[in-house]
Every structure is written in C-alpha cells, then in structure tokens.
Chains A and B, each alone.
Chain A
Amino acid sequence: MRKLLIFVLLLGFSQSYAQDFIDKAQVNGSFQIDGQYYQPDNAIGIFDSTIDGRKMGVNGFGNITYTLGKFSAGVRYEAFLTPLAGFDPLQEGNGFPNMWASYQTDFIGVTVGNFYEQFGNGLVLRAYEEWTLGYDNSINGMRIVLRPTPGITLKGVYGTQRYYWQKFENGNRGIVRGLDAEFDLNQSIKSLNDAPVRLILGVSGVSKYQKDKDPLFNLPENVSALAGRMNLSAGKFSFATEYAYKINDPSAMNNFIYREGQSILSSLSYSQKGLGVVLQLKRVDNMSFKSDRGIDGNALDINFIPPINRTHSYSLAARYPYATQPNGEMAMQFQLNYKIPKGSVLGGKYGTGIALNFSQVNDIVRTQVNDSTLVNTQGTLGYNSDFFKVSDHIFFRDFNLEIDKKINQKWKAVVQYMNLYYDIATIEGHAGEEAVKANIGLVDITYKITNRNSLRFELQGLFTEQDNGDWAAALLEYTIAPTWFFTLADQYNYGNPDKDMQQHYYTVSVGYVKEASRIALTYGRQSEGVVCVGGVCRQVPASSGLSITLSTSF
C-alpha cells in the first residue's frame, strides 16, 4: 500500500504539473506529544517494581495532509515508546500506521489506504480514532462515495481494521465491507427544498468475513448487520431514530451464543431561544460487532453504540463514568436547558442558565431458551428477551442539575449537584462489590481581575459509602490570557476505608499557549480511575511524576 501511495505521488510529480504540485498545493498538519516521567510513590502503591524500569512513557502522533485541488493524500505517524501507563502494551512501537490518498469531485469521492467512516449513528459501522483512549479502528482499504443527484449519497467501504501494529495477514482478522445510502428528500425534490418539514432517510448494510478456524464451534464466516434510520424535523421539533439488526455472531464478547442482535436509538427534541429539551431512548441487545470474533477488549469494533448520558468534565463528577454495555442495556435520558431571561428576578442582569439532566441505564430481561439451558450458555441461542421489558438491574443512573450565572463584569459561577448510582460490578468488572451511590456537589467561580488576568476556583465533594469512600477536590487556576495558565489542584480521598489510602493527589501545572501551539507541564499524582469517551473506557492506573503535553498544528 505504501509503495502504491508513493507511486501515485511520484506519478503526479513527474508530469508537467510539477510546479503546480508545489505552488498550488496546501499542506496541513497537527502534532502532539504526551510524555511522562514516572517516580516511585509508595504511599499510593507505586513501587520500583510497578515502574519496572520504564521510567518514561511517550505517546506521540503527527498528521500531515497534502491537498492539490481534488486530490489529497496524507500520512499519520505514531510513537508509543513506551506507552503511557494505562495504555495497552500492544501500542508499543513507532511508525506510519496510516497512509491514504483521495480524489473528490461533486459526483464521486474515492479513498484508498486508511480512512475513518460512520454510517448514521454508527450502530452498524463507525471507524474512528480517539487519542485519549489509544483507540483507532480505522479501515485500511477502499472507500467510494457517490452523489448521483442532489440529496442522494451512497457510500461503499471495503477493507480491514487497524489492530495496533499488527499487519493483516493469513486471515488474522476479518474483512469489513459496507454500504450506506442516504436520501435527503428536501434536497432531492426541488419543490420541497424550502419546506418547513425536513426528512432524511438512510439505510446501511455491513458485513464481515472471517474464516472459521475454531475446532469447537460451527461459526458463521459471513456476518451481516443492517440498519435503517430517519431524521425528521418540523419547526422547533425534531425526531431521529435508527434501528439495527445483526444475524448470529457468536464471539468472545457474547460468550459464543448464536442469538441475533438488535439495537434501537431514538431522540425527540424541542428547541427555541432560551429553551432546549431532549428525550432519548435506547435498547441494545447482543450488538457487539467486531472484525475479530476472538477479541474481547477495546479494539476492532465495527460498530459503535452511542452513550446517552451526560459527559461530565469536572474531576469528581467524572469519577464514575458509564461504559456502554453492548451485550444488553436499556437507557433513557432527559435533558432540559433553560436560560432564565435577562432582567427577570432570577435572571438578573445577564440571565441564568439551568441545565437539568437525568439518565438511567438498566439491563435487558433475559430468559432461558429452554428449561435445561442456563441463560447465555455458550454454543446455544443464549436467551430470549422481550423487546419492551426492562430489567430491575440498574447499571447506571445520573441526576444532575447545573446552574451557571454571570453575577457581574468580574464574577461568574457554576454550581452543580449530581446524584449517582453506579454498578461498579458490571461497569468495571468488580464482581461482588456493592453499587456506588454517591452525591456530588461542586462550585466553580471565576474572578476576572483585569481583561487579561483571571482566577478560577473549583471546590468539589463526592460523598459515598461505597468503593473508595468520600473525596474532596479543590483547584485554583490563574490565567494570563491568551498565553499563560498556572494551576494548583488537589484531590483528597479522605473517606477511604483503608486509612493508608487516605491520600492527597496533588498536581501543579503550568501551560503556555501561542497561536496553535500549546505546552503544558504537570507535576504530581494521578489517582487510579477510569476515563471514558463516548462510552468506551480504559483503566487509568495511579501514577506519580512529571508529565508534558505539547501540541501544535498548521
């Protein structure tokens, strides 16, 4: 593939367009280096043996994109030498994992090499990269996008997915092929171009091929998934829904059962100035879809189940994030955003923002396929499940209320309360541990000293009798806009039932920003936890030391 790309580049260069190749071209790039120097810190369980000689870890990448008219090509370099703590050791290595070339016109787009793609909400296909998780399931192959008439888009993909640094060979993972068709009725039919009611319909089909090399099971070598979706909007209302179905796909993820998979995601929203309301519902049943049936970690996912929970940014509010359960979950979320108008009693001079959010995720109900077969027994149909029944088993519940208020030219504040139920046994695999029931409160106050200088102060508390008990956190940040910031922060696990683990996790940071470049240095401790992006999570071990992040783009 690399040779082909180089050939394509050279071919273009060797033509009489050599001068255009340079003068009329555009080159863009982005780089990031995350490094950490680790030090033993016996109080939080980091010994020399934990570090095991690996005193430094570095994760870095560079993306370069070359564009000349309708042609573009790019490379991505990555280095994990050694991977930072908490990243999969399979990341270790350096090189150019991704290279691609593309040609795009109004009618057709062709890409060869590595690419990212999503059909609809991703229920049957989503190839994406998430740096903070060390996740990349990009497809190495070919993609064609056709736009035969206005409002109609057809996509076809064919290839294999990235699995760290492992080359695809000898059928060591499956081949993915997919088609998506989207019809925007308002764009397709001229008379409906400006209609107040807008409708977009889409259908997707994805199939994987993986040879059956398993001696125990009689496995399907071709597994298909189909999905249909609709986006309907009328005035201030909009409704979106997608349903996906997958045929039998026994895998390590579902304990090699032969049940089909289903998933539905629906969203109803209302929006007007100062008010937004969203209601979302989701049902997932046996919908893990990977291009290697033997893998059970965060890799080689063909599809993506979107989470419908609020993503929290404050450290203690984000301490127990929800990880999507692709084997089965029923979820709902309600979100209300209201801006109390300026000049009213509660709104004051600048108005007051209120965000109310509630989400809950339960298990689905599973019953035995017959009297003699336990639920989810491998080599069987697994279980029966009533589509509309909700299990009493709660995985996750989050009620939170946030108020943000600009008090005057100098002061503004954010106050948040959160009530959490977190089934740590299911989400983090801590079998036998009681679910975490927590109350979390926080205030975030910003004081603008001058136009360029500001102070921000955070105070948070997490109160629970489960897991590691109570936490308190404080942060003070001084910003000299637009270039410098200095941060002092501490998380204190004062309620840990293990007295020895009632530790402070302090950090001191300094950062410098200039144009598109950013450098940040942090010294201190990182507590053990989980980081999730889009319902996909990775464990973060406790660490101590000096870290640096450097990023730039052009």
Chain B
Amino acid sequence: MLMKIKLTIALLTLFTVVFMAGCDKIDPPYINESGGGGGGGEGEVVQKVLLEDYTGHTCVNCPAAAKIASDLQKFYGEKLIVMAVHTGFFADPMQPPFDTDFRTEVGDKWRTDFGFVSYPSGMINRGAEGGRIAGKGQWASRVDAAMQETAKASLKIEINYAEANRQLALKIDSRFLQNASEKYLLQVCLVEDSIMAPQRNNDPTVGETPTITEYYHRHVLRKDLNGVNGETISSTSIVANETYIHEYNFTLNTDYNADRCSIIAFIYREADLEIVQVEEAHIK
C-alpha cells in the first residue's frame, strides 16, 4: 500500500512539473513585425502563392477573413496574390442593399468541384496537404508553408490595353525550370479590386456591425478568360526553360473599372490540381 501511495505522489509530482514547464506564456509583441516579402535575387524565380478566398456579401465572418488575407498580403508583399471568389448561398443577390451580384460561372463551378460548404474558407495554391479547403485561421500557416516551396515555373504577363475601345491583348509566357512529363494547365482570370458595396459583418474590430455599408470588396473574381478549367500548357512533355506562349484578346466590360482590374494567371498540375506558380498584373 505504502509503495502505491509513493508511486502516486511521484507520478503526480512528475506530471505537475511537466505541466508547469509545458506552458508558453507569450509576452508582447504578439505580432511579428518583420515582413516576408522580397526574396529572389536577380534572375531567380520567386515562388508566389495564390490565396483564394471563398466569400459572399451576407457572410458575417467574411470581412474578418478578408482582413487576414489583407494582413498576409501586407506581410508578404507581391509574393502573395489574393482572389475573392463570391459564390454560394452567401453570395446570392437578395433584397437591397444586398442586391449586387458578384457571382461568376467559374466561381460556382469551383465551389461545387472543390466542395465548399462553410464560409469563409479558402485554398492556398489549391494544395491538398492537410485538406484542400482551409478555414481562415489556417490561412497564415498554410501560406507560409506554400512560400517555402521551390519554384517550378515562372509566369510573365504582358498586357496591352486600348482605353478607347477597352480592348485587351494578353500575352502570357510560361516557363518551367525542369523537364516535366505531367500535364499542366494555365488558368487566366480577370479580377477587380475595391468595389464598394454593402457587406454583412459581425466583427466590430473590422467594421460596423451588422452591416458595413461602404465596404470595399477586394480582389473580386469577375470572369475566367480561358475556360473554367483553363487550358493545357503543352500537348507534349514540358521542356525545361522553353517558353510556352498563350495569347488572349477580349473587350473589358464597361461595368468594370479598368483602373482597378488586373489579370491573375496560374499554372496548376492536372493530377492533383495544385498550383505551382501564379502571377498578377494590373491592366493599367
């Protein structure tokens, strides 16, 4: 009996010590000040990351998610590209003031294909590790992990915009750093930034609740320019350092503000849908 009591006391002491030592009490500053932007010496291909924010104007938690995306973009600079995909129930046009319609055919297709149900949710380079769909609380660590990947390809977007007739001519160069036998696709999209329209909100630290009347919707996906699944980069095996050129011409919708529009192009692997490189270029 005495032995057992001694054992009990010893175990309790051991666990108490472990617990006391196992606490990380954090002191200010709580936020890391140094940015994660920059990187990439001259001629070095920088790995960029796409954060797709699936959202809707009646989704009350979505402004908080958009703020996280914005904070991450401030931290990483141009290395992080954000695209807001308005789709699903929370994006449906409703009674004023929620009668705007930011939905797109391509966004709806992606939502069903990837199985988005709860909002806000997102994808980081559409990577499947740890689950393809990530809640807003997972974005930062997933983005950071994706930033650590070695670049496999580079993308260059050249835009020729004629303001008079709103004609856009795009030339997109894709270049892989190594030979590849897998099939890769190029997806090209048009996004419009900072569109003011009401947004539901329940986070007072982000804005007024329950509705932010003058809310700036950032990086809104407007349309795809080469099909909902993009198009194959090369019908044959990828050859390292060869430039694959894709060109597109279209007229910019007069409803869109050309000053705030940009083109997002990304390359993804057909086998696992993972994005290996992304680039963004402003129309003007």
Please give the residue numbers on chain A whose beta carbons come within 8 Å of chain B beta carbons, in ascending order.
52, 88-90, 107, 146, 148-149, 152, 154, 156, 166, 170, 172, 177, 179, 181, 205, 207, 209, 213-224, 226, 247-248, 250-253, 255-256, 258, 292-297, 374-380, 425, 429-432
Q: Does B140 contact A (CB under 8 A)?
A: yes
Interface centre among B1, B8, B134, B205 (most CB of A within 10 A): B205
Are A248 and B26 neighbours in the complex by a CB distance under 8 Å? yes
The answer to whether residues A215 and B32 also contact, given A181-B12, A223-B23 and a CB cut-off of 8 A, is: yes
| Chain A: minimal CB distance from B10 (Å) | 11
Question: SS class of chain B's interface: helix, strand, loop or mixed?
Answer: mixed
Give every chain A residue within 8 A of B41 (Cβ-Cβ).
none
The answer to whether residues A179 and B19 also contact, given A297-B135, A374-B205, A431-B60 and a CB cut-off of 8 A, is: yes
Are B140 and A89 neighbours in the complex by a CB distance under 8 Å? no
Please give the residue numbers on chain B whose beta carbons come within 8 Å of chain A beta carbons, in ascending order.
1, 4-5, 7-8, 11-12, 15-16, 18-19, 22-26, 29-32, 36, 60-61, 64, 71-72, 75-76, 112, 115, 117-118, 129-131, 134-141, 143-145, 200-205, 209-211
Are A218 and B31 neighbours in the complex by a CB distance under 8 Å? yes
Are A218 and B23 neighbours in the complex by a CB distance under 8 Å? no
Give every chain A residue within 8 A of B205 (Cβ-Cβ).
255, 374-378
Are A255 and B203 neighbours in the complex by a CB distance under 8 Å? yes
* A255→B36 CA distance, assembly (Å): 22
Are A222 and B23 neighbours in the complex by a CB distance under 8 Å? yes
Residue of A nearest to B36 (CB): A215
Q: Which 5 A-B pairs have the closest CB atoms?
A: A252-B137, A432-B210, A294-B138, A148-B4, A220-B24
The answer to whether residues A214 and B140 also contact, given A166-B131, A248-B26, A432-B211 and a CB cut-off of 8 A, is: yes
Are A148 and B7 neighbours in the complex by a CB distance under 8 Å? yes
8 new A-B contacts, CB < 8 A, other than A149-B8, A296-B135, are A148-B7, A215-B76, A216-B31, A216-B75, A218-B31, A255-B64, A374-B204, A431-B60
| Chain B: minimal CB distance from A451 (Å) | 49
Give every chain B residue within 8 A of A251 (Cβ-Cβ).
137
Residue of A nearest to B74 (CB): A216
Are A152 and B135 neighbours in the complex by a CB distance under 8 Å? no
Residue of A nearest to B3 (CB): A148
Are B24 and A223 neighbours in the complex by a CB distance under 8 Å? yes
Q: Choose from A52, A226, A252 the contact partner of B19 (Cβ within 8 Å).
A: A226
Are A148 and B130 neighbours in the complex by a CB distance under 8 Å? no
Give every chain B residue within 8 A of A154 (Cβ-Cβ).
8, 11-12
Are B141 and A213 neighbours in the complex by a CB distance under 8 Å? yes
Give every chain B residue within 8 A of A250 (Cβ-Cβ).
30
| Chain B: minimal CB distance from A300 (Å) | 11
The answer to whether residues A88 and B137 also contact, given A215-B144, A250-B30, A375-B204 and a CB cut-off of 8 A, is: no
Are B25 and A220 neighbours in the complex by a CB distance under 8 Å? yes
| Chain B: minimal CB distance from A539 (Å) | 9
Are A429 and B60 neighbours in the complex by a CB distance under 8 Å? yes
The answer to whether residues A222 and B135 also contact, given A213-B141, A255-B64, A431-B200 and a CB cut-off of 8 A, is: no
The answer to whether residues A148 and B8 also contact, given A379-B30, A431-B209 and a CB cut-off of 8 A, is: yes
| Chain A: minimal CB distance from B91 (Å) | 15
